[in-house]
Amino acid sequence: MPLPKIDLPVYDFTIPSSGKVIRVRPFTVKEEKLLLMAIESKVASEIIATVKQVINNCVQDEIDVDKLPFFDIDYLFIFLRAKSVGDQVAVSLTCNNVLENGEECGHSFEVEADVSNVELIRHDGVSDDIKLGPASGVKMRYPNYGIMRKLEELPEIDKKTHIIVSSIDYVYDKTGMHSYKDYTTDELKDFVEGLTEENYKKLERYVDLFPSISGKIESDCPKCGFHHNVRYTEFYDFFI
């Protein structure tokens, strides 16, 4: 007799960037193992491929992972994590409370973070249309998950410019709108690095204010008793 197929629960998930509701199921144990192995490998291309594959397996409706902004995938991933493995994640904190003797407490301790209350923080007053001159400018977009994860591997000095380059959708001037697809990455990089400091800063502001995911931890330091109320934005280590 064939083994029975046990149905997995299905949940509604609202895609943050579009508000579209999709149906998702949690990770299976096998998928969780694959994710763990990929994350432990620390190889970006492997992590990206595995996360994308598992997300495609879990989403029951048609979506194109490569067309969604990176923060949609981050957010969905945390949602699936909470539904699959659990809401609680052990996070290590180091107490930075300055004691009466003028020294930092420095005590490290583990706290449980609740990932079901993470939120997507959006910043007001950020336009994707950035004027660089009287008739010229750039139309920006959010990089997808694969691009963004790869860029995070770059050395700090190059990272910002590459994130900016990967966020350009169109460049426009008197002659019209020109898609980023019409240029090589090197051409776009030269364009960005050829800007004045003032214009560069406008593009930098756009990427600095990307929507970001943030969670909250409240805990008392067991050594000095200081009450910590911290926000965390790094979700990478959640599976290890």
With 0-12 / 13-18 / 19 or more C-beta atoms within 10 angstroms meaning exposed / middle / buried, residue 42 is exposed
| Rounded least distance, CB 102 to Zn ion, Å | 14
Residue from 48, 59, 80, 95 binding Zn ion (CB under 5 A): 95
| Rounded least distance, CB 21 to Zn ion, Å | 43
- What DSSP element (H or E) covers 131? strand 129-131
Q: Which residue has the tokens 């990455």?
A: 185
**Residues 140-169, mask of contacts with Zn ion (x by CB under 5 A):** ------------------------------
Does residue number 111 form part of the binding site for Zn ion (CB under 5 A)? no
Which residues are registered as beta bridge partners of 112? 90
Distance CA 141, CA 137 (A): 13
Report helix angle 70-84 to 44-58, nearest 10: 70
| Rounded least distance, CB 221 to Zn ion, Å | 3
| Rounded least distance, CB 40 to Zn ion, Å | 31
| Rounded least distance, CB 180 to Zn ion, Å | 48
| Rounded least distance, CB 230 to Zn ion, Å | 13
Contact stretch for Zn ion (CB under 5 A) within 35-43, 77-85, 89-97, 176-184: 89-97
Q: Which residue number, 54 or 95, has a Cβ lying nearer to Zn ion?
A: 95
Give me the amino acid identity at 74: D
Distance CA 18, CA 237 (A): 27
Does residue number 22 form part of the binding site for Zn ion (CB under 5 A)? no
Phi, psi values for residue 157, rounded to 5°: -65, -30
Does residue number 97 form part of the binding site for Zn ion (CB under 5 A)? yes
Q: Which residue number, 208 or 220, has a Cβ lying nearer to Zn ion?
A: 220
Does residue number 223 form part of the binding site for Zn ion (CB under 5 A)? yes
Q: Which residue number, 105 or 195, has a Cβ lying nearer to Zn ion?
A: 105
Q: Which residue number, 95 or 151, has a Cβ lying nearer to Zn ion?
A: 95
Confirm if 17 and 68 have CB atoms less than 8 A apart.
Answer: yes
Confirm if 44 and 149 have CB atoms less than 8 A apart.
Answer: yes
The tokens for 208 are: 């600095």
Instruction: DSSP letter for 7, please.
Output: P
| Site residues for Zn ion per CB under 5 A | 95, 97, 105, 107, 221, 223-224, 226
